Structures are given as C-alpha cells and as structure tokens.
Structure 1
Amino acid sequence: MIVIRSAQPLEWREIAAIAAGASLELSPEAEARIAAARRLVDEIVTRGIRAYGVNTGVGALCDVVVSQAEQRDLSHNILMSHAVGVGAPLGREETRAIIAAAINNFAHGHSGVRLEVVRTLLALLNADTLPEVPAFGSVGYLSHMAHIALVCVGAGHVRAGGERITGDDALRRLGLEPMTLEAKEGLSLVNGTPCVTGLAALAMARAQRFLDWADVVSAMSFENLGGQLDALDPQSLAFRRSEGLALVGARLRAALSDSAILNESVGRRTQDPLSLRTIPHVHGAARDALKMTAEVVDRELASITDNPIVAGTPEAPRVFSQAHAVGASMALAMDGIAVTMAQVSALAERRLDRLVNPLVSGLPAFLAEIGGTRSGFMIAQYTAASLVAQNRRIAAPASLDGGVTSGLQEDHLCHATPAALKALEIIENSARILGIELLAATQAYDLQPTQLARAPYTDSLRAKVRGVLPIYRDDRPLANDMTFAFRMIADGVPPPLPGPSTRTDGTDDPQSTAAAPATVAAHRCAESANDALAMLPEAHGR
C-alpha cells in the first residue's frame, strides 16, 4: 500500500497504515509547499528578521542573538544537545508513526526545512531503516525527534533488517550522504507535535482493534454465564442516546444469534450482574470516546505545530514564534484513551472472575477438569487482576504532571508524548487481560454441564482457539497459551460478524482505508501466532 501526502493532510488511519508498513510518498504539490517555506526562511536569514531558533538561541536563550555565520552550528548543536533519551528504544511501528507524522507536518509548508531533509526521512522510512529512539526522557517531544534527526547528519544508530548500524552507514547504504543542516532545520526537526500525534494514531488503531475483540470475547463469557438477552434488547438500549452503545448492542446480538445456551437461560434471573449487563454501556462509551479522540488526532495532523511558524511571501515573510508546538489537546486526549481502555479491560477481568468462580458460574472451580490436583485458571485470574491494578496506577493523567524547565521559560508542561506512551502500555496490558478471558471462555465451553448448542459465531471463535490449543489440563505452562491469545488480539482482527460491516465509530464503511491497519495486522497475525505456538510443543498433535 502507498499513502500519498497531497494537498490534504494525512489522517490517523493513514499514519497507522504507514506505521504497519505502508510506504509514504509526497505529491508534487506537497514538495512545492516545502520548498516555498524554505525560501521564506532564506529571506528571514538574509534580512535578519528576528526569529526564534533561526537567529536566536532556544528555550531560555531565546533572546540571545545568533549571527548568520553561527546558524548552521546552532542547527547541528540542537540535535546533539536534545538527543537525551533514555531507556529501551521504541518499537518499529512507533518509530515509523512518528516519522510519518513529522513528514506530514513539514508538508504543510510552514516549517522551512529543505526538501532534501524531508526526502532523507522518507528514504529511511520507506527502506524500513529506522533510527533508534529511546522511549523516555521527554516532557513533550524534543528527545524523540532529536534521536530520529541524528541519523540525517550521520550520527546516532538505526535498525535495518535486524542489524544495528550507525547513522552514517545507514545513509550510505541508501546512497545518501550525511547532511549539513541549514538555519532553522535543527529546531524544525525536533519540535512540533509529530511525536505524540504519530503515537496517538498508533494507539487509535490498537484501541480500535482491542474494542472489536472485546465485544466478541465478552459475548463468549456472556453466553457461558447464561446472560439474560434482555440486556441487549434494542428497544431498551435505545433509551440511552449513544451511537457506541447502539453499535455494541448490535454486535453482541449478531455474535450471540441462535444460541441455544442463552435461549435456555431466558427468565432465569431478573437481571444479570453489572459485569454482564453493562457490556454495551461500557464498550459503547469507549467507542464514543474513541470517536471523539479521532477528531482530536485528525485536527492535530491538519494543524501546523512548529515554533516558529513561517508564513507570508518572500517579499513579506512573517514569523510566528509562539506556542503551537504545545500538545495540550493531545495530552488530554491520550489521558482519556488510557482511562477508557483501562475501564474496558477492568470489566473483562470481572467477567473472568465470574467464569472461574464456582459460586456464580455453575462450572467446575477455576475451570479445572479435576479439582484439587489441578488449579486451572485460578492463577491466570491473578495475572489479570495484577494488570488491572497496573493499568489503574499508570492511568493517572500525565497532563497534570506539570514541571518547570529551561530556566522558567518553559514553566508549563502538558507531557503529551508520555501520555501517549502510557496509553499504548495500557492498551497492551488490556489485550493481555482480554486474551486470558478468551482462553477462559473457551475452556468454559468445554466444561458446560449441558450439550446445548453455542451461537454459530462464538462457536467459530472457540474453534479458532481450539484449532491450536487443546483443552487446558494443567499439563503445560499456561503463560505460553496466554502469549498465544495475546498475539491473536494484539496483531489480528476477529472474524467478521454476521450482518453489515461497520467501522468502530458506527458508520457503514466496509471499503474504507480504515481497514488498512487491520488488514496489515491480519497478515502479521499468522506469523506472530506461529511464534507464540513455537513455545507450545506439547500442543502439537493433540
């Protein structure tokens, strides 16, 4: 797949597709805008117009004038001094998403970097020759972008085909030479909100995939526990005004259609526990939140987030040395998604607890075939409870962390990139929790006291798991099964539900480019699942 950055800015779905492996190209119009913005910077330099980071220092040094002869040094030195990231490097998809969002920002035509700089980033991206970017150490965006930009000047390191090489070697393998940065280019390469916006697009894609799985896995638990179908009644759900609620209700009805187990349980209880009857409400609220967040991310991708911004004409250039690089809206949005995913996965753990608890499930204790000598899923539920607690701890809003940097010049910090990173961590934890529920629900089907027919859709999900993993008899480390289920959810998409295809925002759009990240992920799923399966030698042939 090729994504083209044209007159229209990229949307989050396109960034997610590029993160998953699609290539990116610039239209001639986008290249012309980048070149025009560079001409504005050249005029600013020639005329000596005061511009932050062009002919002044940065941060608290913004009033220190830098001569024209020193401006190349300023650009180079900004990269060196801002490359202060620590910790393990970001993953492939995270790095690709950030680079794609940065190129999108430059293509607005208000940054002032030369076209050669953008083409170098494109070459690295499309060759999957990716800078090594430490995950931590930024209160906003500076260190991550600095480590990416290091490679443009032949410094830093990259990962290419599983090999770690220097930035200089990476460029030469691509037929490129290390660059000497011109005025403003060092600052343009490190500032703005591409870092958080790229990560947010990736979080959106993963959250969307997680919610699709959450609906169908919760349907399995609902069926195993004999849930009351009244909780999914469309007339009842319509009393609450929510597109997400209506969509989830429809999805659950489709997944549970023709279930003899549920038909048998009709009227058995006046109402189910909240962990069952609030599935449409909690999952629906999450989808509504995701839709609102998508609007925030797409607005950010359509915005110019440099400091300074260059505009006007070569005859009358203008410089805006203000605060458009501050990502307050993104910080708030990512904090919201973190809490949203934490709540959905906490509900999954509550369903899991009911599946393993014989006092409420009507199933063998802890889903073990033989009690006493076998513990079944007893301790797997501990793992889920631990991950729920971890999510709760890290869901605290990063946007409120505050702090003061740069000698009181930067005395308000919204921590947008850390907010996105913790949202990604919570989504991963949540997929692990849901994977445990998937395994437990599959096991519960095998231990049902009656032979009533499952819904065709949930039966297909059970068969998907059982096609790889046999019933669990405490005969192998359960952690390996959990890894397999996690990879199914994190890397793949659930089988399509009966009925019309819908996007997670509730609109019919089966042919949308929204499917692109999921399609790429689906192709990866088999490989990832096979990797997990390699840890399960006991499972083969059973």
Structure 2
Amino acid sequence: MAVIRSNRPLDWVQVAAVAAGEPLELSADARARIAAARVLVEQIVERGIRAYGVNTGVGALCDVIVSPGEQRTLSRNILMSHAVGVGAPLGAAETRAVMAAAVNNFAHGHSGIRLEVADQLMALLNADCLPEVPAFGSVGYLSHMAHIALVCIGEGYARFRGERLNGRDALQRIGLEPLVLEAKEGLSLVNGTPCVTGLAALALARAERLLDWTDMVASMSFENLRGQLAAFDEESLALRISPGLNKVGERMRTALAGSGILAAVIGHRTQDPLSMRTIPHVHGAARDVLTATADVVDRELASITDNPIVAGTPEEPRVYSQAHAVGASIALAMDSLATAIAQVAAMAERRLDRLVNPLVSGLPAFLAEPGGTCSGFMIAQYTAASLVAQNRRLALPASLDGGVTSGLQEDHLCHATPAALKALEIIDNAGRIVAIELLAAAQAYDLQSIDAPRAPHTEALWQRVRRVVPAYRDDRPLADDMSIAFRMIADEAPPPLPNPGNIGPRPATSAEGLGMATPATITSLAAAGHVRAAVSIAVNDGQAAAHMA
C-alpha cells in the first residue's frame, strides 16, 4: 500500500517504510501547496525581489546579483558544483529514505519547485531507479541531495535493476526526460535537512529492532548465567521513573516466565554483576533516548527546512533567507542515539565475556568442546571487543566538529548528516555484537549443566537460532555463523513475546498470604512466571531460602 503524503507530514515510521520499498504518493492538497509555492517564486523573479539563491549567488556569493536570464544556469550549476561526494555510495534503503524526506519537505509548500520536479523524484523512487550517492563529503546536507538531483536533469549515475546507468539513460529506462531547472529549483533540491532526516528515520527503525532483539538475547544470557530474577521485580523497578526501564523490566519478566533454570537458583546470590542486573536500566535508558530522538525527527519532518523559504501571497510574496536549513537539533539527537546504542552494545559484550569465561559462567571454557583442540567462542569475543572499541571512537559527537566554509559566510557547522551516518554504523556494529551474544547464548544452552527447562520464550529463541545455525564444534568458520545471526537481527523481528495474561493466575505475593513456604512452592511459582512472589517468599522465609541455596 502506498504511503500518502496528505495534510500531515510523513513521520519517521512512514519514511522508514518508503526506505524499505513502499511507494510514495502526493495527495491533491500537497500537490496544490507545491504549485502555489511555485507561483510565489515566479512573482519574486518577476518583481525583482532579492532572494538568496533565486536571483543571487549562494554561500559567500549571496550578495552577487544574478539576472533573470542567468537563473536557469544558476540552478543547473548549483547541482554540478555541489555534487562533491566521495567514498562508497549509500545503500538503496538509505537513498530511498533521503528521497522520501526530500519530497516530504517540498510538500509543505514553501520550497518553490515545480510539480514536475517532485514528480521526477517520486518516479525514480517508485521505479526503484536510485541515484548513486557517495556517502561522505558533507558537513551538513548539500552533496547528497546534489547527487540525487543530478539524475533528474540527466546527469550523474543511477542503479536500475542491478545495472549502473548514466542519468539520461536511467531516465529513459523508466520513460522520463531530463528536466531543465528553473529559478530556485537547483537550490531547493540541495537545501534543507532531508538528507539527515531520511537517514535518521532509518536509524530509528534499525535501532528499535535492535533493542527488541537485545532484550531477548539478554534474557537468554541471563538465564544461562543463572541470574537472580529479583533484578526485574516490578515494584522495585517502578521506583525509578523511566518508561523505557519499566518496559524492559516487563519484557524481561515475560521472556523469562516459566524458567526452571532460574527457579532452581533463586536466592543463590545477593545480586548479579552489573551487566546482568542493570539490563532494564541500560536498555531502558536507550529506549528513552530512542523515544526522544523519534520526537526530534518527527518535528524535523513537520518543519520547513529550506533556505530561503517562500511564503505570503502572489500579491505580497515574502522571502525568508535565514537558517532553517541548519540541523542542530537533529545532529544532537543523532549523537545521543549513537551513544545510547553504543552503550547497550558494550554491555552485551560484557555478558558475552561472562558466557565464555569459565571462571564465572559455570560452563565449559569458551563454550568449546573439551580437550584443548577447540577454541569455541574465544576469538569471537575478541571481535565483539573490537567492535565495542570502534563504537567508542565513532560515538564522539559529530555535532561538535565545527569548521569554517564558504569564505567565513558559513562559520558554524553542525555536521548533522555525518552524525546520522555514524549512528547507522554504530547500530550495525551493535547488531554484530548482539549476534555473537545470541550465538554464544544458544551454545550455552546446549552445554548447560542444570537439568531444568528453559523459559518457553527463550526456548523459542534457541529453536529459532538452531533452525539456521547448528551447534558449533570448531568444524567451520565461525564468521559464517556470525553473518547469519547478524542478518537475522538486522532483517527480522524477534519472536513475539507471549501475552503476560497467559501465564496463569497470580497468587498472593507474601509469605503470610501463602502460609508456610516450601522449596517446591518457590520453584513452582518461579516456573509459572510469578517472579515477585517467588522472590518475596525466598527472601522472607529463611528456611525456604536456606534450602534453595
């Protein structure tokens, strides 16, 4: 089903859907707004009202007047001179996200392009004929959109059905002709924050999926490492005001409901290491950052981010040649999301280390076959540690990089697009770290010495892994397994959690209400998923707790 841009702007979820392959359409209202803004530009040109990039040069050339006869040339030359990207091109999803965000910006009705320009972009997008956009070389937003716009005028390169074509041939393949740009259209095509906003929407979608997986993989590690379910006690967690923390606590309780392994070890330790007992706190903090970042991205999608903005009426057109194209807020949000995901991944590596370390795991060394000839997951943990270090370097804030460009005219830079690009890289690295933890947790189940059932949900997770990756015995390159697990995390949602209401009636939650507690009572309560009741009894009934220990 098409994503329709009507009276409301796209939100980040819709942009991510277009990035994943959904088509994009403009409503009649949006088309009318675009056409009305074009009339304003035509009036500005006709009346000779000074407007940045319409009848002046750009950047430090903003005071150089451009005659009406030169304005088409200015629009074309802006694309040529601004197409300065370097490095490997963006992926298809990244390119689609940027294009969707650009059309969304035009649909606000303050850019001043003709409808033909928006239609050309949408035709390329919906045909999956995607411009080749080098990933690097931007301090803000210019170069990426310039490479996209080149294809609209028959220049640059595009990918269509696996073939690299020059812009003119790419347009011909989908039945289009190159556009001749009019006044302001060149600047409108490279201006604003669609580049970072599109990439940010994609980062949010990937981060959300990753956090869902990380909770579930953490539950597997927690169970294998025989953690204390008190870490997820509902009443305790509610004392900390954090929607994310309490959501993760609920997810962990649900994922581990019915665990015979954890029921057998209630009361064995006063508290677990931080990488286990702070899962709600760290994962929850990242979810809170995700929510805040989503709010920033949605505000950005709802904002007009051109320079200049055209407004008013045909009788009284107005031009705002100011700074709405600067992406300070979204740059800061991307830096924050990147740091949050890097922290979640760093803690995943710490749980992985505990799984492979026989000094603390209670499992065979490095989850390997015995005898010394097998290394198991020893070196996979090195890879995870390396990626954690890489994320730490990448998490330095791009928004503080600064710099001076355009002959001192642009003497403060926010580096919003680089912030989004490195957030995407951190999310990918984090996915690989969690994928290694997932494989190690599945292997740990195969080697678990406690003869007790896993929680139904972690059992489903283990089965999901084992359908595509068998247990590891140093009999093949482990990198191949890691790649399979990463694609599972990057491309698929984890198995859905059961409805908490399906785990049976909740008994009384105090020793008084249940009478004399026995070890069997505690075990059965924990196995049924009633974590708080089991923990309460284990703590309050000294005899039962001592027996369980």
TM-score (norm: length of structure 2): 0.91
Structure 2, unaligned stretches of length 5 or more?
A: 502-549
Letter in 2 for 1:350: R
Distance 1:158 1:184 in 2: 24
Partner of 1:27: 27
Mapping for residues 481-492 of structure 1, pairs under 5 Å: 481-492=481-492
Partner of 1:434: 434
Partner of 1:124: 124
Partner of 2:409: 409
**Secondary structure of the residue that 1:310 maps to in structure 2?**
strand
Partner of 1:463: 463
Partner of 2:158: 158
Q: Contact conserved, 1:34 with 1:109, CA < 8 A, in 2?
A: yes
* Residue deviations 1:60-114 (CA, integer Å, cap 9, x gap): 0000000000000000000000000000000000000000000000000000000
Q: Contact conserved, 2:397 with 2:419, CA < 8 A, in 1?
A: yes
Distance 2:51 2:497 in 1: 56
Partner of 2:538: none
**1:304 equivalent in alignment to 2:326:** no
Distance 1:469 1:486 in 2: 12
**Secondary structure of the residue that 1:240 maps to in structure 2?**
coil
* Residue deviations 1:305-352 (CA, integer Å, cap 9, x gap): 000000000000000000000000010000000000000000000000
* Residue deviations 1:117-141 (CA, integer Å, cap 9, x gap): 0000000000000000000000001
Partner of 2:11: 11
Q: Please identify runs of 4+ aligned residues in structure 1 that moved more than 6 A.
A: none
Partner of 1:108: 108
Partner of 1:523: none
Task: Tell me: CA distance 1:500–1:116, structure 2 relative to 1, closer, same or farther (3 Å).
Answer: farther
Larger Rg: 2
Q: Contact conserved, 1:210 with 1:431, CA < 8 A, in 2?
A: yes
Q: Contact conserved, 1:369 with 1:447, CA < 8 A, in 2?
A: no
Q: Contact conserved, 2:254 with 2:500, CA < 8 A, in 1?
A: no
Partner of 1:476: 476
Partner of 1:242: 242
Partner of 2:189: 189
Cα deviation for residue 450 of structure 1 reads 2.4
Distance 1:363 1:219 in 2: 17
Distance 1:60 1:228 in 2: 63
RMSD between aligned residues: 0.8
Q: Contact conserved, 2:132 with 2:157, CA < 8 A, in 1?
A: yes
**Secondary structure of the residue that 2:429 maps to in structure 1?**
helix
Cα deviation for residue 451 of structure 1 reads 2.2
Mapping for residues 30-429 of structure 1, pairs under 5 Å: 30-429=30-429
Letter in 2 for 1:114: R
Q: Contact conserved, 1:364 with 1:371, CA < 8 A, in 2?
A: no
Q: Contact conserved, 1:365 with 1:371, CA < 8 A, in 2?
A: no
Distance 1:154 1:318 in 2: 32
Cα deviation for residue 470 of structure 1 reads 1.4
Letter in 2 for 1:135: A
Distance 1:202 1:46 in 2: 41
Cα deviation for residue 500 of structure 1 reads 6.7
Cα deviation for residue 371 of structure 1 reads 3.8
**Secondary structure of the residue that 1:422 maps to in structure 2?**
helix
TM-score (norm: length of structure 1): 0.92
**Secondary structure of the residue that 1:348 maps to in structure 2?**
helix
Q: Contact conserved, 1:197 with 1:301, CA < 8 A, in 2?
A: yes
Distance 2:370 2:280 in 1: 35
Q: Structure 1 residues 364-373 or 41-50, which shifts more?
A: 364-373
Letter in 2 for 1:168: R
Structure 1, unaligned stretches of length 5 or more?
A: 502-542
Q: Contact conserved, 1:286 with 1:344, CA < 8 A, in 2?
A: yes
Distance 2:46 2:261 in 1: 78
Q: Contact conserved, 1:217 with 1:438, CA < 8 A, in 2?
A: yes
**Secondary structure of the residue that 2:287 maps to in structure 1?**
helix
Distance 1:475 1:26 in 2: 54
Q: Contact conserved, 1:94 with 1:198, CA < 8 A, in 2?
A: yes
Letter in 2 for 1:352: L
Partner of 1:516: none
Letter in 2 for 1:106: F
